[in-house]
Structure 1
Amino acid sequence: MVTIKKISEHSGYSQATVSRLLNGDDSLSITPETRKKIIHTALALGYDRSKIKTTLEKIAVVFWLTEQEELQDVYFRQLRITLEKYAKINNLEIQLITHEDQVLEILKQVSGFIGIGSFDKEELRRFKSVCSAGVILEINPEPELFDTVKPDTDRITKKALDLFLEKGYTDIGFIGGAFLNPNTHQEEQDSREIIFRQKMSTKDLLNDNYIFSAGKFTVGQGYQLTIDMINTLKEELPEAIFVASDTIAVGVLQALNEHSITVPDRLELISVNDNDIAKFVSPPLTTFRIDVEEIAKTSIDMLVDQIVHPRSITKTVLLGLELVVRKSFVPENKAD
């Protein structure tokens, strides 16, 4: 058990000073260096963070999305809110940074940051020059500079296709957005589309005519891509479709409903994210749930670990996803 006495011995400061700091005594007057040394010593020894009543560190969330993009993608809004919640639970003071802020000046004043959005390599190199500790969520173009936390959508894409194949489907389509490369500013294939193509090719079932992907991950884009699919394929639609996100899937369902193409009778859908809206659309979406809470907790833990135990190597954590079965697709082993 880590005691105040042990922290005092290892940090070199009196038990009274250690106790007053960890118990949040606002009248305690110590230097920032002393405060940092005591807190880092306590955490390094394994002292329970929940017992520390003072702010441990000041960190930043670099939110590299426009307000419109955030509103269009519920997932990123949930992620930002959840990060703020877990920072508070961990006694971390958090500052939100957007494109409009003086990002480098702010990063100089914090102990670390968590990045959400689309960053180019040069941006991350500049961040590194002023702030050594950082975690990038989702796509990290510089994994040698900062830790990475992301859902394992590659594995989930393969799992979705396996579920379709187990049910006997061979005509399988894909609807998704594109990855906008922040370095070239060009649209590229999203990783889910890449894995979809690879997996279907190995089964000798890839049909390029069944793939419709471009633009942003929005409801409107999902609607337009599906209209394009309907107009192009007419009566030759696939039997099942893997949709890259719930946001896109809402637009997919709107377009299918308008054309009296019933789900799941005519074709079945599997999506990704499990946003709140997934259970309220018609039919409710079968989707892989990305655990936003776990992403936020893991990101905070990894950042604190970097701050307390600086290291020269970076880490990448891939988080699994859970299939939530609703009416748009029922797996073979759950079908009546």
Structure 2
Amino acid sequence: MATIKEIAEKSGFSPATVSRLLNNDPNLSITPNTRSRIMAAAEELGYWNDHRKQDTIRPNIALLYRVDIKEQLQDEYFSSLKDALLKVIKQAGMQVEVFEHIADLVKRATEFQGFIGVGPHRLTHQKLAGLHAALPNGVFIDINPDPELFDSVRPNLTLTIRDALQRLTAAGKHRIGFIGGTGLNFDQVQQPDIREMAFREFTSVNAEITEAPMFVGGPFNIENGYGLGKKALAVCADHLPDAFVVASDTLSVGVLQAFNEAGVIVPRDTAVISINNSEVARYVSPPLTSYNINQETLGRMAIQLLRDLIVHPDRPRVHLTVNTDLVVRKSFAN
């Protein structure tokens, strides 16, 4: 059985430092290099196999919450994701502190063994490279801003779009529209949204889909959804698609408002499938059929990846996707 003394000798640090790290002392302040060397020595000597502690590692971690306040107020997805994460972190017995600014986390990086990142607000490669140098063990949830530096766990939105199109065509819907917002802005470069890309790809190769009009751009909020809904009505006039796939529930709320004002009855005149399954999906008229993103599962997977990173700091980066599941309500029921 590997001992604290053996790990200390192999890593070159004192038994006291090794013991405090392996027992997750929240008051221990060491450099990322020191942490990595001790963890590597413990792994090489078989400490984790002997003690069976990998699944019960309770590190002191940070939650980097990079969400624009306006976006958070307009889209409950991020606030509910934060709540879900804090819940699963607490269930895992970990201590966590929330940071909104990368610079603040970098200054205090030696206090943490890793971090979980949420939100794309004003991220740049330069900022993330600085964070990686100070705190290399990190997992991003819902986004994958710098895959060479950090792990990620995301909902499988490509599969979600494919499943929606398959369900709609199976129900006899062959003219299918898409309404979505603008993708991640990283390093001042606008990235395409994965839902939009998947819709373009699958509709281009699906012979059953005869028309696939798209209305995209702008933030994922109700106001923009209303504007995009009005645009879809103006462009399509009396020839509305049989159904719309809408990229988020907040957009869908605005879309339904625009449709209701124009006298368009959902699902009689056009069906709607949404994504997120947020609380609002149950209370709009009609209630939204929406793909559920299990945020607690995203959080648990992120914690597992982070624990693995702490034990194996030199392993390759890992990127996981989590499937969604459809919650059927009145806006579409096949």
Task: Report the TM-score when normalising by structure 2.
Answer: 0.84
Q: Look up the match of 1:97.
A: 99
Q: Which of 159-168 and 37-46 deviates more?
A: 37-46
Structure 2 letter corresponding to 1:220: E
In structure 2, distance between residues paired with 1:221 and 1:265: 24
Asked if the contact 2:181/2:217 (under 8 Å) is kept, the reply is yes
Q: What RMSD, in angstroms, separates the aligned Cα atoms of the two structures?
A: 2.2
Question: Residues 221-300 of structure 1 correspond to what in structure 2 (within 5 A)?
Answer: 221-300=224-303
Q: Look up the match of 2:52.
A: 46
Is the alpha carbon distance of 1:11 and 1:68 closer, same or farther for their aligned partners in structure 2, counting shifts above 3 Å? farther
Structure 2 letter corresponding to 1:148: S
Q: Look up the match of 2:124.
A: 120
- Per-residue deviation, 1:32: 4.7
In structure 1, distance between residues paired with 2:267 and 2:92: 44
Q: Look up the match of 1:88.
A: 90
Task: Report the TM-score when normalising by structure 1.
Answer: 0.83
Answer yes or no: is 1:164 the counterpart of 2:155: no
Q: Look up the match of 1:215.
A: 218
SS of residue paired to 1:179: coil
- Per-residue deviation, 1:142: 1.9
Q: Look up the match of 2:179.
A: 175
Q: Structure 2 residue aligned with 1:37, among 17, 22, 27? A: 22
Q: Which deviations, in whole Å up to 9, do the C-alpha atoms of 1:161-214 show, x marking residues without a partner? A: 11111111111100010114221343x431111111111111254646x21011
Answer yes or no: is 1:310 the counterpart of 2:316: no
Asked if the contact 2:65/2:99 (under 8 Å) is kept, the reply is yes
- Per-residue deviation, 1:10: 2.8
- Per-residue deviation, 1:288: 0.8
Identity %: 34
SS of residue paired to 1:10: coil
Structure 2 letter corresponding to 1:66: D
Q: Which deviations, in whole Å up to 9, do the C-alpha atoms of 1:280-326 show, x marking residues without a partner? A: 11111111100011011111111112112323301111100111111
Structure 2 letter corresponding to 1:105: K
In structure 2, distance between residues paired with 1:131 and 1:91: 21
- Per-residue deviation, 1:149: 0.2
SS of residue paired to 1:103: helix
Structure 2 letter corresponding to 1:74: E
Asked if the contact 1:65/1:116 (under 8 Å) is kept, the reply is yes
Q: Which deviations, in whole Å up to 9, do the C-alpha atoms of 1:46-90 show, x marking residues without a partner? A: 24966x8xxx32111111112221122211111111111121222
Asked if the contact 1:171/1:238 (under 8 Å) is kept, the reply is yes
Q: Look up the match of 1:5.
A: none
Structure 2 letter corresponding to 1:122: Q
Asked if the contact 1:264/1:328 (under 8 Å) is kept, the reply is yes
Specify every segment of 5 or more residues in structure 1 that has no aligned partner in the other structure, as ranges: 1-8, 14-29, 332-336
Q: Which deviations, in whole Å up to 9, do the C-alpha atoms of 1:25-56 show, x marking residues without a partner? A: xxxxx945322134577765324966x8xxx3
Asked if the contact 1:97/1:103 (under 8 Å) is kept, the reply is yes
In structure 1, distance between residues paired with 2:299 and 2:63: 11
SS of residue paired to 2:230: helix
In structure 2, distance between residues paired with 1:196 and 1:155: 10
Answer yes or no: is 1:11 the counterpart of 2:3: yes
In structure 2, distance between residues paired with 1:47 and 1:114: 21
Q: Which deviations, in whole Å up to 9, do the C-alpha atoms of 1:255-286 show, x marking residues without a partner? A: 11111100011010101111011111111111
Q: Look up the match of 1:334.
A: none
Specify every segment of 5 or more residues in structure 2 that has no aligned partner in the other structure, as ranges: 6-14, 25-38
In structure 2, distance between residues paired with 1:307 and 1:206: 50
Structure 2 letter corresponding to 1:290: I
SS of residue paired to 2:183: strand
